[in-house]
Structure 1
């Protein structure tokens, strides 16, 4: 962390308190990002972006104020921004604005990086994956984009916390597009995590898989619409978990305070009520190492922990910040996060997952007389309360008498949250965490990276093909 930037953050807190703020925190952040775009074995561009700045939250007369400064050159800039934030907060209606008590923490954490990323190695891995996809039969376009960020975040508040977290994220996005006889099919995948190049070193296996599947889908069938047994693989489950379990578990959405982009929660007021089958167990856990949602302290300085959201089908808790924890008579869960210093933090998933069970995947499939094996996330469409949902998959396969048979394309899965959760009767032992790099929330919208995951699960939903 830039010592000068950290010093400015500390001075900002002292100035805000001296100016009458009841509470203040500051986030000083630096990020270096390098990315490569490769299309059909050709490098389209190489980009480097550096960003640094400070975001400052404060409370005056129970009202939040916020300001941010990009690449501050002097403390005078920060003072002017704080003065404006204080003035704006003073125009609000006076509130009590209770914050749940928090422990003062002073620590510095360096996240492990086994193989430090560099541009040369990034290009090498990207070109290898692109070549694999391009050389596959019927592939007309291969897009591969590897990238990494080096991040340093310093959090301090008027209560005395001083927390530095330094981490690296390495990601690779890949798309394989096949075409023949007027039909086009695409498969995409994202790999990576928090750490070094070790997070994407085996991405060529994924490149082979998506290229082959895109090619095979040209000969795949459509399916009729029917309500049937569905077996969902962990990649598809990760998006389903994100959309209909994670978002409605964010307490600001439950309260209706943050309805932009992803709406509210159908289970408002249902804490300690049954919302699914006894096989459904859900948690959020920022401590899962190497996940994109791995961190030790959130953007309020709250230490993270695993939070049980649903236990044996009973709704137990929501993700809480220091304000909502008071409302729910709970405790903060360490889920307050912002995309970067430019934004106020919001309650965000870290790594929300369905807990694994003790079923073997082949046993889950073997019991299905007539159903579908649903693979890999694609596009979600969810209503404002996260009640009615439909999620398309990248591909599906028919299950007949316990055997996986025909490959199916253009398949979408539909259901309602309570009916589907109640139908879950098996969870596999193949728990997997997948990277999510583009979750949107807020107004102005903030895009966030995180993890989501789960095992293979079995339930009942409507399946159909769309043209």
Structure 2
């Protein structure tokens, strides 16, 4: 962290306090981002970006205020931004803002990086992945986008917290597109996590994933669509990660439950249902920012709250929501460490960290063998969810028919549909496998903020409607 930027954050909090605010916190952040786009075995472009600035939240006259300054050169710029922000504050006599008490945290956290990523390293990996994809028959296009960010974030507030966190994220996005006899099919995958180059090089993971998506895209050009029916579905962990994100994670964010954040991703159908049964006893859900190497791994959130694992659903019973210091007062709960902003330019919102369905004790092969007629649903694609997260449909990258416990025909362009309570109640098996997937483009808020996180779970079995996209 730049010493001058950190000093500006300290001074900003002191200045705001002298200006009569009830509360103030400041986030000084700097990020170095490097990425490349690779197509047809060549580098289309390379992008580098360095960003730094400060975001400042205050409460004055019982109103939240926020301002941000990009690359401040003098403290006068920061003072002017704070002054202008406070001038726009208008007294709110209806509801007093109450924050859950928090002890001052003073900490420096350096997240594990075994090998620092460099641009030439990720380009080499990207070119190798592009070559692997392109060598598979019927592939007509490969898009590979490796990138990394090196981040430093400093949080300070009027309560005495001073927290510095340094972390690196290393990720690669890959798309394989195949064409045959008038049919075009694409399969994509994102790999990586919080850490250095090892996130892309461990166990030859990227080359394996590149070959898998290319082979599957090629095979899908010969696959058939599915006829619409309500049936047993066995969902693999990659598909489950998006399902968890959309119909379990988002409605668990307390600001949505309260109706305070309806923009972009809606509210929550289970409002006022804490303590009630909302699914089968096989459904267990948690959010855990302490899951190392996931994109949702962090020790302190953007309110300075130290993180821990939070149980959201236990044996089908809704137990908790993700809370910030303000909403926890409404729910007579405690903050869960889920307050996050995309960067210093935005005010923090309640966001998932690493939200997952808990695994069970069932062997995955046995789960499939018990299905007389149904479908194996694999890998996330595109979600479509209503504003209350009640009605949902999510397309998968491919599916396979299950007949008498055997996996048979490959199917393309498949959508899975259901309602949240009916589907949750139908879950009758969770596998003993478990996978966390990187999510890099979750949108929420107005103005919209894009956030990275982890989502995951095991293989699960339930009942839903399957149909063809066309």
TM-score over 0.5 (shorter chain)? yes
Match of 1:227 among 218, 227, 230: 230
Residues in 1 aligned to 2:95 and 2:280: alpha-carbon distance in whole angstroms: 41
Aligned to 2:311: 308
Match of 1:254 among 253, 257, 262: 257
Aligned runs of 1:365-404 on 2, under 5 Å? Answer: 365-404=368-407
Check if 1:24 corresponds to 2:24. Answer: yes
Contact 2:434 2:457 in 1 (8 A): yes
Partner SS, residue 436 of structure 1: strand
Partner SS, residue 89 of structure 1: coil
Match of 2:446 among 443, 446, 455: 443
CA shift for structure 1 position 447: 0.1
Aligned to 2:11: 11
Q: Deviations over 1:358-384 (max 9, x none)?
A: 011101100000000000000000000
Contact 1:61 1:95 in 2 (8 A): no
Residues in 2 aligned to 1:101 and 1:385: alpha-carbon distance in whole angstroms: 31
What RMSD in Å do the two structures reach over aligned CA positions? Answer: 0.7
Contact 2:139 2:177 in 1 (8 A): yes
Aligned to 2:127: 127
Residues in 2 aligned to 1:264 and 1:386: alpha-carbon distance in whole angstroms: 7
CA shift for structure 1 position 91: 5.4
CA shift for structure 1 position 183: 1.1
CA shift for structure 1 position 90: 3.1
Aligned to 2:86: 86
Partner SS, residue 200 of structure 1: helix
CA shift for structure 1 position 180: 1.4
Aligned runs of 1:195-344 on 2, under 5 Å? Answer: 195-201=195-201, 202-344=205-347
Aligned runs of 1:144-159 on 2, under 5 Å? Answer: 144-159=144-159
TM-score, structure 2 length as denominator? 0.99
CA shift for structure 1 position 285: 0.2
Aligned to 1:142: 142
Residues in 2 aligned to 1:93 and 1:222: alpha-carbon distance in whole angstroms: 59
Q: Deviations over 1:316-366 (max 9, x none)?
A: 000000000000000000000000000000000000000000011101100
Contact 1:53 1:70 in 2 (8 A): yes
Match of 1:452 among 446, 452, 455: 455
Match of 1:428 among 426, 431, 434: 431
Partner SS, residue 77 of structure 1: helix
Aligned to 2:466: 463
Contact 2:61 2:91 in 1 (8 A): no
Residues in 2 aligned to 1:93 and 1:138: alpha-carbon distance in whole angstroms: 66
Check if 1:419 corresponds to 2:427. Answer: no
Q: Deviations over 1:168-201 (max 9, x none)?
A: 0000000000011211000000000000111111
Structure 2: stretches of 5+ with no match in the other structure: none
Check if 1:406 corresponds to 2:409. Answer: yes
Partner SS, residue 265 of structure 1: coil
Residues in 1 aligned to 2:60 and 2:75: alpha-carbon distance in whole angstroms: 21
CA shift for structure 1 position 135: 1.1
Residues in 1 aligned to 2:115 and 2:7: alpha-carbon distance in whole angstroms: 31
Residues in 2 aligned to 1:94 and 1:23: alpha-carbon distance in whole angstroms: 18
Contact 1:139 1:215 in 2 (8 A): yes
Q: Deviations over 1:48-91 (max 9, x none)?
A: 00000000000001100000000000000000000011111235
Partner SS, residue 21 of structure 1: coil
Contact 1:276 1:313 in 2 (8 A): yes
